[in-house]
């Protein structure tokens, strides 16, 4: 065979080897999108993330929830809302009771009774009793689909992993 034929065959083989299905290209792009949010709880889920839906949860926070335990006899009432249109996660606390000098608000992914996964997502540092933050659609979709797999935490210096915690 001539050099030109060999070169064309080699080029053809390279093109075929690099020419994956659209599924492969989609997987790569999904992986890249997830990798950019690698610290977001649930961002490494396998499969298509659930659609984001607007929803509001009201629930109790307590120092007795989770592990390690938080501030004894601490409590609060929380509202957590997902806005699908703006991709915002909003929170509001009534008034933390028996929580000295709150420092930040975080949300973690965790199974019931288990510790949070990773460092959690900081929603407000320094602490704010109400606010909204933009979050990735994959995170909001997972939170909306399985809110019981997440918990909200108000931290302080004495309890940096949660003075009070609760699940939607």
Q: pLDDT tens across 77-88, in order?
A: 999 999 999 999
In a domain, 92, yes or no: yes
- Looking at residue 48, its pLDDT comes to 83
- Looking at residue 59, its pLDDT comes to 94
SS3 of 20, please?
Answer: coil
Number of domains composing the chain: 2
Question: Are 129 and 92 within one domain?
Answer: yes
pLDDT per position as a tens digit, 26-78? 222 233 333 344 445 544 545 788 999 999 999 999 999 888 899 999 999 99
Q: Is the pTM of this model over 0.85?
A: no
Question: Are 22 and 82 within one domain?
Answer: no
Q: Which domain holds residue 95?
A: 55-166
Count CA atoms closer than 13 A to 96's CA, side-chain side.
28
Checking if the pLDDT of 145 tops 50, the result is yes
In a domain, 103, yes or no: yes
- Residue 14 or 68, more confident: 68
Question: Are 111 and 60 within one domain?
Answer: yes
In a domain, 49, yes or no: no
Residue 137 to residue 93: CA distance in whole angstroms: 24
Q: Which two tokens stand for residue 6?
A: 């060999």
Checking if the pLDDT of 23 tops 80, the result is no
pLDDT per position as a tens digit, 82-111? 999 999 999 999 999 999 999 999 998 877
- Looking at residue 118, its pLDDT comes to 64
């Amino acid at each position: 065979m001539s050099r030109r034929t060999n070169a064309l065959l080699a080029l053809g083989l390279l093109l075929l080897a690099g020419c994956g299905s659209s599924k492969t290209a989609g997987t790569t792009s999904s992986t890249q999108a997830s990798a950019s949010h690698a610290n977001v709880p649930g961002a490494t889920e396998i499969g298509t993330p659930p659609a984001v839906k607007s929803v509001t949860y009201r629930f109790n926070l307590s120092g007795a929830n989770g592990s390690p335990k938080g501030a004894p006899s601490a409590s609060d009432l929380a509202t957590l809302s997902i806005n699908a249109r703006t991709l915002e996660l909003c929170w509001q606390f009534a008034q933390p009771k028996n929580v000295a000098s709150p420092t930040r608000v975080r949300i973690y992914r965790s199974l019931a009774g288990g510790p949070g996964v990773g460092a959690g997502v900081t929603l407000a540092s320094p602490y704010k009793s109400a606010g909204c933050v933009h979050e990735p659609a994959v995170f909001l979709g997972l939170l909306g689909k399985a809110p019981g797999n997440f918990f909200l935490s108000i931290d302080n210096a004495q309890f940096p992993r949660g003075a009070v915690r609760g699940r939607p």
